[in-house]
Structure 1
């Protein structure tokens, strides 16, 4: 009787094993992740077939970063003697992050294996707003200021903090930093010792940027995500009897998002010469000379340096006289360290007519965030004198040293130069403007005459030489006859 019962149970078990195809289990590591930190969700699917499972789910208050491509395999033998079946467990790992504390969920979990569909209950995840104890290794984004004006420069630095030596770092995702003008920097990977909550950490700068907000309100500094390999084990240098048998471990790190409040620039005290730059800046104008001939190129160089967003600065206007033909401006930007820059504008004009443009002041403004006031810098534009042409440009403006609007104004003055008269007495006028306008033609005539005179003198000398040689030949013949 007992033998028959055993046989019946074996048959039932074998039948159940043949019908059973898959089961799924979900594991969250760590069980209570921290807001802004990457954690793992493992789906363990156990199969008796060779079918490939397909996993689907709906994350709530969670961001899925990636899925590890290759699953982990584990084999096991199930069943009695003679009826044993081999099962395999495939573990699929997903990298996730919660951007807020509280409760998050994994809903609608479904695993499809062949024609079979296996459902799993909803997974509830408790997310901590902050870690109760500082982790042994973590990443952090640090900003120079969490409140700034529109267009004001902010320095962002991404660090790793670790109680263990970090052997290798692989950046998985760089911050996008939308809403900012950015200058990214790849710093030298050096370590320094810092104290955090009473513990000494190894801090290493992994990435940095200089950013300029382009809109007001609350903006977000995106996280930097990376994988680090470090020497785990005891932090005691005399651990493991001093032989350093530490195992290398890998850890996914992600810095938390940082909120920055951006304030609009004040409208009170706004000046017409405001360039849009925030922070103290220096302006330097260079011109080689101030006297030119018609059809001669006029070159100028304006150098602007400071902490502002120079990438967006347009070339200020120096001259708009009708006597000057303007070519396209050239500009070049260079970084001076991590927080300052320099932009050089190169101007080229072509003198087209006689004109005299007096010296004037060009005002360029910026906003000082420390005093919350607008300030101006005065740049002296030297006078220009253009001559040697046959025509003059009449004066259109008579106001000198007027402030400039519309991003650094216009050349408002040029002085009419009277046409030289042929009735004037150039012997008593030492100015170069008194020379007749046809002096080039006269000079050409004089040079041509000198060349003709020189040629005639050479020909006359040759003829005398030939005549002298003929007289000698006649005397020689007479001597031979004697």
Structure 2
């Protein structure tokens, strides 16, 4: 039997090694929706990588015009205990010129290594005529069905500023100028806003027109798009063109065909393409190194702190501490402030409440961080002042904000609610007064005369102890039988734990609020790991979780799956994509708990 067990474990190790080896291979695959493609037709080129990356470099698409891209999508699945992760960058291309084209590989950076995709060989056959980009001859444009709008119709991008600091907002307004009527229009390509956090300003359904004279010519002008940009890093950034097509009515000079032509003139419908000019924006670094308590704020901000309840505070009962950052600036881009607590206080990830509006080219309102803290002992405690630095645009200096301290008087609460792991000290054992008592040094001896081995009391006590021992053996045997069926035991235990720690996420399913659901799911899974491995919730960062799982004896694949899923949830909270439903994500979190319960020591 022992030999069989050893062979079983060896086989299991080799199987897991093969799975880890296979899953650890990072690939970048290029695919195309159709090949060959005719001129004037659209084709989708996709680059899919099965790992998180830090940089993506696309190739040049000779023979094609890029209509949109890179469009990014992410998917993650967990099936039968095996996770898969994919990130896809896709482009919509317009075939322009006949011929055979070799599209070179795209490149991605994974860790410190660069990886290349497979090249693509695409064939463009004759279809309908298409206006080509970067045409140097005006004659070639005249021969195409799609022409330049020239001075009759054009687009302009107008930035409110061309030089800003990191985090300083600027507004870009896209305006349409026309001297001709148009009967149809189509969006070809939205501008890429790489390096900026952006938010669209709602212009309403009706577009107001106004007149403007340029170089002695009268134009009808309309604002068609307005966006607020917050630069995320220093350097020269480019606002790429907005590209549109219009079918305009253009007067033509030809022999009149009727009396109406003589009176009104002749017109023809012509499709033209217009693009706004690209703009360079200089993003300046901060004049000095940001302080340690800088959380990314830029603008004019204030900070306050409050807590509830203020009376009848007891150990093991929750206290809500609210930190509010208010004012104007990049409020939606702030990191979490750092709050220091006395020892043996438990703290949970904050719930973020925003009341923020976009007005006058920036955010205004407040972001509130709602922390749940739990004191574990009675006594008088002080929460130190919370400090936060931000970059004040008016003075171009870092300013530090500071709250008042909070004094708390904690009375002794219900010790049965205690749920924290620590090494007991003598005073703590006195407070708990459960499970453990110190061994007394002065034993009371029992003389032999005090025991009568022939008494009824002796036989009755011995019989009762024997029965208790038999019942104990039966109970232990049943428990061992249950645990011998490992799959059933782990399944029942994991189901209870998943139901307990993912309860809040399940409740958010019916509220149709994806952001709150993702927050609750992430929090529930980290809480499970915190309690499972006796590590404080506040200490559960990525590296701690990884090391804790490793110390528990879990295999590398399970550790990677858990970390990847938590990172994926964090990514979805700030850059949500909809490839997966909330139900799918909840199922994956439940599977992770089942997998850890099954395989951890």
TM-score, with length taken from structure 1: 0.50
Q: Deviations over 1:177-205 (max 9, x none)?
A: 11222223453252242343344432222
Distance 1:246 1:355, change over 3 A: farther
Distance 1:263 1:61, change over 3 A: farther
Which residue of 267, 272, 280 corresponds with 1:259? 280
Which residue of 140, 143, 147 corresponds with 2:159? 143
Which residue of 169, 186, 196 corresponds with 1:170? 186
Indicate yes or no: 2:405 matched with 1:388: no
1:371 matched residue in structure 2 = 395
Indicate yes or no: 2:133 matched with 1:97: yes
- How far apart, in 2, do the equivalents of 1:284 and 1:223 lie? 43
- How far apart, in 2, do the equivalents of 1:215 and 1:307 lie? 20
1:220 matched residue in structure 2 = 238
The secondary structure found in structure 2 opposite 1:370 is: coil
- How far apart, in 1, do the equivalents of 2:130 and 2:273 lie? 12
Distance 1:305 1:222, change over 3 A: farther
Which residue of 349, 357, 374 corresponds with 1:328? 349
Distance 1:124 1:95, change over 3 A: closer
Q: How many residues align?
A: 291
- Do 1:219 and 1:260's aligned partners in 2 also have CA atoms closer than 8 Å? yes
2:65 matched residue in structure 1 = 64
Indicate yes or no: 2:368 matched with 1:344: yes
- Do 1:145 and 1:154's aligned partners in 2 also have CA atoms closer than 8 Å? yes
Distance 1:320 1:243, change over 3 A: farther
- How far apart, in 2, do the equivalents of 1:355 and 1:230 lie? 79
Q: Deviations over 1:212-254 (max 9, x none)?
A: 22222211001111123455559xxxx9999999766543221
The secondary structure found in structure 1 opposite 2:300 is: coil
Higher Rg of the two aligned structures: 1
Bigger fraction of residues in helix: 2
**Structure 2 unaligned residues grouped into runs of 5+:** 1-36, 41-59, 67-92, 99-125, 142-148, 253-259, 416-426, 434-601
Distance 1:68 1:437, change over 3 A: closer
**Structure 1 unaligned residues grouped into runs of 5+:** 1-51, 72-89, 106-122, 126-132, 392-417, 420-435, 439-482
Residue 369 of structure 1: how far off its partner (Å)? 2.7
Residue 145 of structure 1: how far off its partner (Å)? 0.6
- How far apart, in 1, do the equivalents of 2:375 and 2:199 lie? 39
Distance 1:231 1:332, change over 3 A: farther
1:203 matched residue in structure 2 = 221
Distance 1:381 1:147, change over 3 A: same
The secondary structure found in structure 2 opposite 1:96 is: coil
Mapping of residues 186-335 of structure 1, within 5 Å: 186-188=202-204, 189-193=206-210, 194-230=212-248, 232=250, 249-267=270-288, 270-291=290-311, 292-333=313-354, 335=356
1:358 matched residue in structure 2 = 382
- How far apart, in 1, do the equivalents of 2:248 and 2:130 lie? 22
- Do 2:317 and 2:374's aligned partners in 1 also have CA atoms closer than 8 Å? yes
Q: Deviations over 1:425-467 (max 9, x none)?
A: xxxxxxxxxxx999xxxxxxxxxxxxxxxxxxxxxxxxxxxxx
Distance 1:196 1:383, change over 3 A: farther
- Do 2:38 and 2:127's aligned partners in 1 also have CA atoms closer than 8 Å? no
Distance 1:369 1:93, change over 3 A: farther
Q: Deviations over 1:77-125 (max 9, x none)?
A: xxxxxxxxxxxxx884233333xxxx959xxxxxxxxxxxxxxxxx999
1:25 matched residue in structure 2 = none
Residue 359 of structure 1: how far off its partner (Å)? 6.4
TM-score, with length taken from structure 2: 0.41
- How far apart, in 2, do the equivalents of 1:167 and 1:144 lie? 31
The secondary structure found in structure 1 opposite 2:372 is: strand
- How far apart, in 1, do the equivalents of 2:136 and 2:263 lie? 45
- Do 1:305 and 1:340's aligned partners in 2 also have CA atoms closer than 8 Å? no
Residue 308 of structure 1: how far off its partner (Å)? 3.6
Distance 1:54 1:191, change over 3 A: closer
Residue 162 of structure 1: how far off its partner (Å)? 1.5
Distance 1:328 1:161, change over 3 A: same
- How far apart, in 1, do the equivalents of 2:413 and 2:38 lie? 87
- Do 2:153 and 2:178's aligned partners in 1 also have CA atoms closer than 8 Å? yes
1:128 matched residue in structure 2 = none
Distance 1:95 1:380, change over 3 A: farther
- How far apart, in 2, do the equivalents of 1:139 and 1:387 lie? 69
2:491 matched residue in structure 1 = none
The secondary structure found in structure 1 opposite 2:386 is: strand
Distance 1:201 1:283, change over 3 A: farther
- How far apart, in 2, do the equivalents of 1:294 and 1:91 lie? 77
Distance 1:186 1:253, change over 3 A: farther
- Do 2:354 and 2:367's aligned partners in 1 also have CA atoms closer than 8 Å? yes
Distance 1:153 1:233, change over 3 A: same
Distance 1:150 1:62, change over 3 A: farther
Distance 1:147 1:53, change over 3 A: closer
- How far apart, in 1, do the equivalents of 2:409 and 2:262 lie? 86
- Do 2:296 and 2:335's aligned partners in 1 also have CA atoms closer than 8 Å? no
- How far apart, in 2, do the equivalents of 1:313 and 1:362 lie? 15
- How far apart, in 2, do the equivalents of 1:272 and 1:104 lie? 54
Q: Deviations over 1:381-438 (max 9, x none)?
A: 43222112499xxxxxxxxxxxxxxxxxxxxxxxxxx99xxxxxxxxxxxxxxxx999
- How far apart, in 1, do the equivalents of 2:316 and 2:367 lie? 29
